[in-house]
A and B are shown apart, each in its own frame.
Chain A
Amino acid sequence: MLELRKDIFADERDDNLKEIGKGTQRQDMLGHVTGTSTYFDDHKLQGMLHLKVLRSPHAHARLRRIDTMEAERAPGVRRIIRGADVPINLNTLLSLINFGKDDEPSLAVDKVRYKGEPIVAVVADSPREAYEALAKVRVDYEPLPAVFDVEEALKPGAPVVNETYPKNTFVYHDVYDHQKLRFGDVERGFAEADHVLEQRYQMSPIEHAPTETNGSIAAPDTNGRYVVYTSTQALFFSLDTCAKILDVPSNTFHFIGGTVGGGFGGKVDTLTEPLAILGAMLTGRPVRYQLGREEEMQFGSPRGAERIYIKDGVMRDGRIVARKIRAYFDSGAYTRLSSYAVVKCVAHLPGPYTIPNVHGDVYCVFTNRTPATAMRGFGVTAMDFALECQMDKLAHLVGIDPMEFRILNAYRDGDMKAHRREAKNTALIECVQVAAEKAKWPLREEVKRMSSRTDGGGSRAAISPTPREPVPQRAAVSQQRTTYDRAPAATVQPPPPAPPTPPPPRPQAPSPSHGATRFSSVFGTRRR
């Protein structure tokens, strides 16, 4: 046991902590009001070059030819970067935790899949010279039919957006084209219900529009390393993503960030760092890559659109007895983080309510729209918008006050949630009571006395009989990498070689850990 010599610091720190309930000054506030907080773009380095990117004007097109001859001779140009210059030009963000297939190039090679997709980067002495050179790049596009609607994208014969996922859906565990939740029997629930209400909800994509656009500055450092000033919200995530794309050990990079001019989820995608670093590697000079406002809006990923269908069965007394949900997340042209948002969404169904029969199907769908990403509660936010609109409509349908209707159906301690976990420390009833009080919304005395701590469990803890469904066949696992745009060469597999002697099992960690071991084992498989 380490002994802390607190006596040395006795006059510096009060261990009697009483921070809750009083304001505490932000440690960065003086920098903010004096303009001395250092954002990534506030670094001006000697000999710094500027990187700009040619973007696709088409939502979906084959790239027949890319001609950079004239651009290479333009004044001030130091280097043209094409897809072939990117060491590993195919990545998916969550590959760092072994989730999903590499599906997104840093620079498009054979196809562009959304308007604004990067094709060629120019590194020049000034931003103006970079733009002038970009205007001299000639690209021969063959426009392809595009799909912008999640349900259209799932129809037979729809254009294939991303060949890594030929059915236009993310594939979970190499088998499932969507995430399911099954709890009880909704069809029986609907048959018993006094009313059934089915509604369709749609949320549009939402751009974070941070006041500071995404960007980074990369500069050669000593010992072959690179220092990177970046606007990222996820410093080490971006660092590891760059190490993978540029095929170097992660200790090649020293990332400096933390002062972010507004993020809201829109600065986790490592949009600029890989090309800025590659520019610095290829020119030996500091390289700055900052998105303009138009790029931020067109190319910077938004919160994804969602389409949601909810069908509920409700009794005259206000109990919801069945809830069936079918939802489609618009991931745009690449996965980024939408696959994870779908998992989070399904874990959230059917909202904070105890419903004996729940049925959920949620799809992560690819379309020719800008790839979507994280934004404040993504995966849950749009679903909650739909669920709570639905709750108001149901309350109206059965003639019950909407606040009371929520209290009536809320989780209570001891109830069984649709994921077959017991509800604990629930507090929705108390939240609604406080909200009603603050809004001076009248509640009946009987409802005011209700509590999350009482009347839960019992029959509400039961798992109703759940019909089994056929399980799809597991397809052959094929992680295609840079050849992703071509059909697999051979469908007949050679017989598998005799399995090597398995290595002795590693000693198990003595206590369960929450992710550190998983993460390190994932990184272990990736490093050579």
Chain B
Amino acid sequence: MTKTPLQFRHNGRDVALFVDGGVNLLVALRELIGDMTPKFGCGQGGCGACSVLIDGELHLSCLTLAETVNGRAVETLDGLKDGPNLHPLQRAFMEQFAAQCGYCTPGMLMAAKALLDRNPSPTRAEVVEAISGNICRCTGYEPIINAVLAAATSGRARA
């Protein structure tokens, strides 16, 4: 099968790889680059576990053809913390018990980051809307919403 060359920024670093036609970004990230933070949940855009940011915008990597991110910047949970320092969202998720099995957490964190990057002071309703494409099955929405609101507050306090 003919492979297509592909180059993009992955969490601030340039990566280059060859992909088969039809390969989605989730497979490219996990199997070709080895970034295991985006998760496979459904492969049909229903659960949000594979959420990543492309040029700062929230996308479902399972529905994104890998070839379409050529020359663009992809951010995953792996790039969220700053060296050893956790991002305020990660600290808030820990403090608010906003993860149980942890499988939806990478997607939730990326959806929350996309929200706070464009709206540092969201209302509760805006947080609910922002994570509405991400399914949690361990009964965790309330602590997750509280964590995003707490991270927004702590982010404003730092700024």
Contacts and interface: CB of A to CB of B under 8 A. Distances in A.
Q: Do A and B bind each other?
A: yes
Query: Which one of A25, A34, A42 has the greatest number of beta carbons of chain B within 10 Å?
Result: A34
Q: Which of A30, A33, A34 has the most CB of B within 10 A?
A: A33
Nearest to B78: A35
B31 A44 contact: yes
B65 interface: no
Given A25-B94, A210-B137, A39 B34 contact: no
A34 B86 CA distance: 8
Given A262-B137, A264-B137, A32 B43 contact: no
Interface residues of B, number: 37
Contacts of A128: 22
A208 to B, nearest CB: 8
Interface string A31-46: 1111111110110100
Nearest to A30: B94
A217 interface: no
B144 to A, nearest CB: 11
Contacts of B104: 211
Interface string B71-99: 00000111011000010001001100101
A124 to B, nearest CB: 14
B39 interface: yes
A174 interface: no
Interface stretch (B2-10, B44-52, B53-61, B122-130): B44-52
A456 interface: no
A470 B18 CA distance: 74
Greatest chain A CB density within 10 A among B40, B46, B102, B138 is at B102
A211 B41 contact: yes
A213 interface: yes
A257 interface: no
Contacts of B43: 292-293
Contacts of A23: 97
A260 interface: yes
A352 interface: no
Given A33-B109, A262-B138, A211 B101 contact: yes
A35 B42 CA distance: 18
A209 interface: yes
A261 B103 CA distance: 5
A197 interface: no
A201 B60 CA distance: 41
B44 A32 contact: no
A510 B86 CA distance: 55
A211 B137 contact: yes
A293 B94 contact: no
Interface centre among B81, B86, B135, B138 (most CB of A within 10 A): B138
Interface string A61-97: 0000000000000000000000000000000000000
Contact of A39 (B39, B86, B136): B39
A397 interface: no
A113 to B, nearest CB: 27
19 contacts: A29-B93, A30-B94, A32-B93, A32-B102, A33-B86, A34-B77, A34-B86, A35-B77, A39-B103, A210-B137, A211-B135, A211-B137, A213-B40, A213-B41, A261-B101, A262-B137, A292-B43, A293-B43, A293-B47
